[in-house]
Amino acid sequence: MDLVRILCAVFLPPLGVFLQVGFGLDFWINIVLTLCGYLPGIIHAIWIIAKK
């Protein structure tokens, strides 16, 4: 299942975070990071998935 989350994180970073933690603070942080730049959103999403 982590492979699916990581693939989602690469294409749609907020989706990968949502699948891991739901509508928590990390999800909203990832939305902001993705809007600021696509790469920070990907890095944050992969970090959240790997951490939990």
Q: For the chain, 52 residues long, give each residue's pLDDT as a single digit of tens.
A: 778 899 999 999 999 999 999 999 999 999 999 999 999 999 999 999 999 7
Task: Tell me which residue of 48, 52, 41, 51 sits closest to 10, measured CA to CA.
Answer: 41
pLDDT at 2: 79
pLDDT at 1: 75
Model pTM above 0.75: yes
pLDDT at 15: 94
Task: Tell me which residue of 22, 31, 32, 26 sits closest to 47, measured CA to CA.
Answer: 26
pLDDT at 44: 95
Alpha-carbon torsion (27, 33, 34, 35), positive or negative: positive
